A = this chain, B = another copy of it.
């Protein structure tokens, strides 16, 4: 949150190590010994084993290492050996690295406005590379902030062309992560595959309840007493991807569909913001169709 120069210096020497592997004795020992020998101090460490017997092991470590920027490539190279011994899937990154985001929107602006505000005040450790929309409505809120806004219409006829344009924009913009901030179009499988576990959608219901279109209307008709929102990674199946975060709000019989929409907007934007923040901080690991969130 703070941006004093000493904190930035600290961040520049901070790295993250994410590990996933079959559980077995000696993993923590191996990793902590490696870091110790490399002069890196563990600042934060989280781990999870799915099952004490024959389960899967997940670990996230934040460490500090003097002159990390200069040593980073060497450090990664050295770790490769440890990782191979222990049969790990792993990823090492510098905490100072900012992921590049593309935010996809349609006409509703509550999630976009919220993300842009958080980015502006320093809550999102990211570069916003672009905003992409199938409508022009939200352009006036984007361009004054110096963020490119791309209008890519997406109708039944133009779908294939839109898909090509999207992939080209994302590639050229060197985008890491795509945020669907109430983008009301299906994401084609090409993009889902290319950005696996890197496309975050906000669905305006408490999944798995009210999959698909118009969840607030569905909620109204079922007469639920609580509504919710769900942020999840996008997979091929609609609204079925790994859930990152959910939250809810109480409603009652006086609420019409429009009230549910209004109340829901506040839930949606907070749920999406949290999921995005955790993703940007490499705090989310995917395991099958579930997430491990080290927050």
Residues of A participating in the B interface, judged by any CB pair closer than 8 Å: 1-2, 10, 24-29, 32-33, 35-36, 39, 41-49, 52, 64, 109-110, 113, 117, 121, 123, 144, 206-210, 222-226, 228, 242-248, 252-254, 258-259, 261-262, 266, 270, 287, 289-293
Number of copies: 4
**Contacts beyond the supplied A27-B42, A206-B206, A248-B248: 11 A-B pairs with Cβ under 8 Å:** A1-B261, A10-B52, A25-B41, A26-B36, A28-B45, A33-B33, A45-B45, A208-B209, A225-B293, A226-B248, A253-B293
Shortest Cβ gap from A176 to chain B (Å): 23
Distance (whole angstroms) from the CB of A55 to the closest CB of chain B: 10
A266→B262 contact, CB < 8 A:
no
Establish whether residues B49 and A290, one from each chain, have CB atoms under 8 Å apart when the complex forms. Answer: no
A247 touches B223 (CB 8 A): no
Could you tell me the distance in whole angstroms from the C-beta of A208 to the nearest C-beta in chain B?
5
Smallest Cβ-Cβ distance to A260: which chain B residue: B1
Interface contact A253-B48, CB-CB below 8 Å: yes
> Nearest CB to that of A277 among chain B residues?
B262
How many angstroms from the CA of A210 to the CA of B210 in the assembled complex?
11
By beta carbon, the residue of chain B nearest A1 is B258
Complex Cα gap A224–B48 (Å): 17
Complex Cα distance, B93 from A78, in Å, reads 37
Chain A to chain B contacts (Cβ below 8 Å), 6 pairs: A25-B41, A48-B253, A207-B222, A225-B293, A253-B292, A253-B293
Chain B hits for A45, CB < 8 A: 28, 45, 47
**In the assembled complex, which residues on chain B have CB atoms less than 8 Å from the CB atom of A26?**
36
Set B49, B207, B252, B290: member contacting A44, Cβ < 8 A: B49
Nearest CB of B to A28, in Å:
4
Query: Which residues of B lie under 8 Å from residue A258 when comparing CB positions?
Result: 1-2
> Cβ of B144 and Cβ of A289 under 8 Å apart?
no
| B residues near A207, Cβ cutoff 8 Å | 209, 222, 224
Assess A123 versus B36: contact at CB under 8 Å? Given A223-B243, A243-B225.
no
CA distance in complex: A144, B143 (Å): 14
A242 contacts B225, C-beta separation under 8 Å = no
Partner of A222, one of B39, B121, B243: B243
- In the bound complex, residues from chain B placing their C-beta under 8 Å from that of A224 are 207-208, 243, 246
Q: Is the CB of A252 within 8 A of B1?
A: no
Nearest residue (CB) in B for A58 is B253
Q: In the complex, are the beta carbons of B49 and A43 less than 8 A apart?
A: yes
A155 to chain B, nearest CB (A): 26
